[in-house]
Structure 1
């Protein structure tokens, strides 16, 4: 069930419309499904308001927010959002609000692109900004968009920072980087290895890491001497973890390669949806469990949305076959990211 949001000044320490605007802001910047916005709460406030100030506040925190102006959601998303705000305003019978129509006019004059941005606000006030495709499947892969299980895993990580603090983390199937970037910004790992297999995903992943002010280790920053020198200088100024992006094919990766990464923690999100892929994943996990140099196996956490119960049960059965034990990790308590709260998402910790 979605965490209850404060709706009165005594609960939030601010006016009700201020709290509501904050909820709109978090959802809008992250590209939340429009149907999941608190429209009924907005209607209630507009009925009791003497002017259009609640809508102006929402506009300032969403469409006119500096983050939106620099890293905007898709044109279609902004158009639909503004159209819905206009409907709510017109239903009150109030005078037309020029700022709303001007904002919609600007969006209608904008060209739609194949990419958009999503901005996820962290409790610290920092944000994770991602460039992703507007299509679910692009260039033959689903890895160029953010999926709910990745948001869920990031949410859990931010509540369990001790798991990652000063540890070396390997992420399998990083996609465009939401989970790993959030962990690097908020959980203070010592080192972080993002990995994936699709070339386009790796390119977009690297771009998103840099977009968020994080620095890759020199060997993945370029091939020229000048590029290496510049990247080393950036890394020296950085206070973050040592970060690399690695191309890993679960079927082909060797035990020696995994040993080089020296992972204390291994995570993955939304990688359990295809039986063939599941077999490859389990094979990689077996290699990881066998390659610890000090005899201590890494901690492994796999997050996934249970779209098909048979796939979920099949994954557990395959783990049992090869002697990998598992336990369900408790759900995160706070609602930090706008994934579908109705989705059945879980995290398994794998054990040997």
Structure 2
């Protein structure tokens, strides 16, 4: 029985596809520019003397339909495009009109205090969130997505059976990344988002709606005002959760859940994050 083997050109094609995916992941989550795979781009420009790969990057980032609907911040797009232009010029390639057109679109645009970040799921969907540009705003840190929420979402994707068919309560949902990921990928019967800061609740409700989640269709979702430090047994009983999750320090007896998680989202993995199971 015959079999096919990949040649060098096939391997390069596969590598380019992976690199394009990385550019897309990093761009839509507004990762630090230094984390992008620039070395591969530089090598491609040097060897081919063509802007074709930059054109492909543009199509997967600034010119992608997701960017039209949920664009990263103006400043971020400006810096990203400027870096692409710098790399292209350093490679001695012919100018790419669509690259300069994309930059011209954001040069005159006004910066805002809010932006969209999109986190791509393994299934191909994207969780798009309205977030604040500043880490701390309106007296809270809850208007941005933190590494702990990304890690918890990755753990959930690896342990979907823990949520399937259940009523899940999330304490301190923030802007909604973990909960929306679970709703999209883990088939809960019902999911209750909660937080206690008024501005966070407003942003959370908007993001839940933005991602097409409602009380009327499966999974059924709701957003509740709940301060877990002051919540009563009756409040928890009314919610009737089978599982409770939180990406915060609750000060309750616990043990650490060890083991790696699949790397799905780009973020700083040097942060000290533990997955813990709480018990009474």
Query: Counterpart of 2:256?
Result: 327
Contact 1:152–1:339 (CA under 8 A) maintained in structure 2: no
Cα drift, residue 350 of structure 1: 1.9
Cα drift, residue 192 of structure 1: 0.7
Contact 2:49–2:92 (CA under 8 A) maintained in structure 1: no
CA distance in 2, matches of 1:187, 1:140: 33
TM-score normalised per structure 1: 0.74
CA distance in 2, matches of 1:212, 1:9: 39
After superposition, residues 66-81 of structure 1 pair within 5 angstroms as 66-81=65-80
3-state SS of paired residue (2:274): strand
Deviations along 1:176-199, one digit per CA (max 9) or x if unpaired, are 100000000000011111110001
CA distance in 2, matches of 1:258, 1:45: 57
Contact 1:29–1:73 (CA under 8 A) maintained in structure 2: yes
Deviates more, 1:121-130 or 1:43-52: 43-52
Cα drift, residue 83 of structure 1: 1.0
Deviations along 1:52-86, one digit per CA (max 9) or x if unpaired, are 11000000000000000111000110011111111
Deviations along 1:154-206, one digit per CA (max 9) or x if unpaired, are 01111110111111111110001000000000000111111100011111101
Q: Does 1:41 align with 2:19?
A: no
Deviations along 1:265-305, one digit per CA (max 9) or x if unpaired, are 11111x23xxxxxxxx34xxxxxxxxxxxxxxxxxxxxxxx
Q: Does 1:265 align with 2:243?
A: yes
3-state SS of paired residue (2:115): strand
Cα drift, residue 351 of structure 1: 3.1
Query: Counterpart of 2:268?
Result: 340
CA distance in 2, matches of 1:37, 1:168: 38
After superposition, residues 97-116 of structure 1 pair within 5 angstroms as 97-116=96-115
CA distance in 2, matches of 1:91, 1:158: 41
CA distance in 2, matches of 1:19, 1:249: 42
Cα drift, residue 27 of structure 1: 1.0
Contact 1:18–1:57 (CA under 8 A) maintained in structure 2: no
After superposition, residues 1-352 of structure 1 pair within 5 angstroms as 14-215=13-214, 217=215, 235=216, 238=217, 240-269=218-247, 271-272=248-249, 281-282=250-251, 319=252, 324-332=253-261, 334-352=262-280
Cα drift, residue 346 of structure 1: 1.5
Contact 2:30–2:117 (CA under 8 A) maintained in structure 1: yes
Tell me how many residue pairs correspond in the alignment: 273
Contact 1:329–1:349 (CA under 8 A) maintained in structure 2: no
- Flag structure 1 segments of 5+ consecutive residues without an equivalent: 1-7, 218-234, 273-280, 283-318
